[in-house]
Structure 1
Amino acid sequence: MKRMIPLVSALALMAGAAAAADIKVGVSPGEHAEIMEEVAKIAEPMGLNIDVVEFSDYVVPNQALADGDIEANSFQHEPYLDNQIRDRGFALVPIATTITTPMGVYSDKITAMDDFPEGGSMGIPNDPTNGGRALLVLQQLGLIKLAEGTGLVPTVLDVVENPRDMRFRELDAAQLPRSLADLDAALINTNYAIASGLNPKEDSIAMESADNPYVNIIVVREGDEGQDWVQPLIDAYHSPEIKAFIEEKYDGTVLTSW
């Protein structure tokens, strides 16, 4: 019987080493959800089971992560995370970069920015970082000018030149696609555009430059960076299979960071 003990112990250790880890990853609708579903398929043979949890807005995923309801999230860029940490005190950290999704201008009423009417309504996200990002896109397009020194988070109060007397409508980012009928145009994040059936390449009338600081990230709670499931999650996301999936499915409207 004593000879069996080392064998049984070894088998137990092997079983423990091979035991699958189960994690929940929060995402927003659109490309973040679609990509993470593919990541889950790649991660499973690595011993990592990913339950993809979809949230309908940008507010809840960080709160859910901070509360321990999920182990990671993948929906935001670093300027947004920095703002959330500053405003809400979250102890969250990025562990990897993922994709860049240039913001687009969409409209049910015009087909080019040159046609934007004087005094027309422009929808922008109502959160500070994405609202600021939208204003920076409008400045990039030559439609407004912002005060110097506002960085990545300008507000409508920082607009110093507005030759078309553009009227800004600040709405929840997820509501902007549904509000196009009531607006002359809107700046919409790519994930919400895709989730609403819009094709960024075909349906946008203008796009943000791909050279922007808004690369998206995978985020975990501070202190979880060394968890055993972290590296398999990163490896699965950064795999050649996921890069090929993104390039084929999104045709240049979603860009990989690796």
Structure 2
Amino acid sequence: MRKSLTLLASGIATALALTACGGSTTSSSEVKELDPANPVTLTVGASPVPHAKILEFVNTELAPKAGLKLDIKEIEDYQTPNTALSDGSLDTNFYQHLPWYEDQVKTKGYDFAHGEGVHIEPYAAFSEKVKDVKDVGDGAKVAITNDPSNQVRALKVLQVAGLVEDIKDDSSVLTLTDAQNPKKLKFSENQPELLINDLKDPSVDLALINGNFILKAGLSTKDALAVESTDSNPYANFLAWRAESKDDARIKKLDELLHSPEVKAFIEKEWPNGDVTSAF
């Protein structure tokens, strides 16, 4: 089952619970093993693409034989999945990478655990005004995420493209020095899900967009001006769950299935140009 939810950070827990068919009805303590003859449901929050699409494949092709049924909740923004996981509206979520996860746990006090990386969606820079990154002029307006863990990621894409210099792991657009920003780029911060709209803004010269929103907008990294490398990339997305659910057989099985040869082959077939790459 796959349901689409477009929720914002305020009031999300109630909204998600009401749309989740009553939420998860099976506690993790009740599930010690799985029986294909009596499948149990696992409620998973996920970004629509590629996460929910990968989960759909698992739900159709792999989960039935494992005694598992996925109730997939598509969530557009980046705050809702962890808030809903924390309050129990979700059993697990599939949308985040380690830097984001660590920042969320540190700043919001979540008691979570996570699996190994499943896939990487490269960050990329797009423009509707110039055809080559070399044509981005001095003082150009650059739309960038306001999320710190992904903002430094975007800045590193610009660094590889030769537009900024000496980017550190804690760099942000607010702390860039003149030496780091020799072209005096003007940055416009926005929520990650809104950067596709910024790309169409006539005042924006360049927009840096996260991979899942690239896919949702029907774009491709092959048309980008600069693309993040996937080699030794620390931004692999993984399954996350509440720490108290560490012995939940449903979550263990889903994490196992997400790292199966079948899922790896599905990713390679579905995104052959590298918009999504396997992390295992």
Does the TM-score normalized on the shorter chain lie above 0.5?
Answer: yes
Q: Which of 17, 27, 31 lines up with 2:46 in the alignment?
A: 27
Matched residue type, 2:210: N
Give SS of 2:200's match.
helix
After TM superposition, give the deviation of residue 235 of structure 1 in Å: 2.4
Contact (CA 8 Å) 2:95, 2:238: kept in 1 or not? yes
Q: Which of 74, 78, 82 lines up with 1:62 in the alignment?
A: 82
Unaligned 5+ segments in structure 1 are 1-15
Give SS of 2:90's match.
coil
Unaligned 5+ segments in structure 2 are 1-33
TM-score using structure 1 length: 0.88
After TM superposition, give the deviation of residue 93 of structure 1 in Å: 1.1
2:112 maps to: 92
Matched residue type, 1:188: I
Matches within 5 A, 1:110-189: 110-146=130-166, 150-151=168-169, 153-160=170-177, 161-182=180-201, 183-189=204-210
Contact (CA 8 Å) 2:42, 2:251: kept in 1 or not? no
After TM superposition, give the deviation of residue 45 of structure 1 in Å: 2.0
How well do the aligned residues superpose, as a CA RMSD in angstroms?
A: 1.7
2:246 maps to: 225
1:190 maps to: 211
TM-score using structure 2 length: 0.81
CA distance in structure 1 between the aligned counterparts of 2:90 and 2:98, rounded to whole angstroms: 19
4+ runs deviating over 4 angstroms: none
After TM superposition, give the deviation of residue 243 of structure 1 in Å: 1.1
CA distance in structure 2 between the aligned counterparts of 1:97 and 1:163, rounded to whole angstroms: 36
After TM superposition, give the deviation of residue 240 of structure 1 in Å: 1.9
Q: Does 1:246 align with 2:267?
A: yes
Q: Rg: which structure is higher?
A: 1
2:30 maps to: none
Segment of structure 1 superposing worse, 95-104 or 17-26: 17-26
Give SS of 1:62's match.
helix
Contact (CA 8 Å) 1:146, 1:159: kept in 2 or not? no
CA distance in structure 1 between the aligned counterparts of 2:171 and 2:57, rounded to whole angstroms: 36
Contact (CA 8 Å) 1:27, 1:73: kept in 2 or not? yes
Segment of structure 1 superposing worse, 36-45 or 107-116: 36-45
CA distance in structure 2 between the aligned counterparts of 1:146 and 1:122, rounded to whole angstroms: 18
CA distance in structure 2 between the aligned counterparts of 1:253 and 1:194, rounded to whole angstroms: 8
CA distance in structure 1 between the aligned counterparts of 2:89 and 2:125, rounded to whole angstroms: 34
Matched residue type, 1:184: D
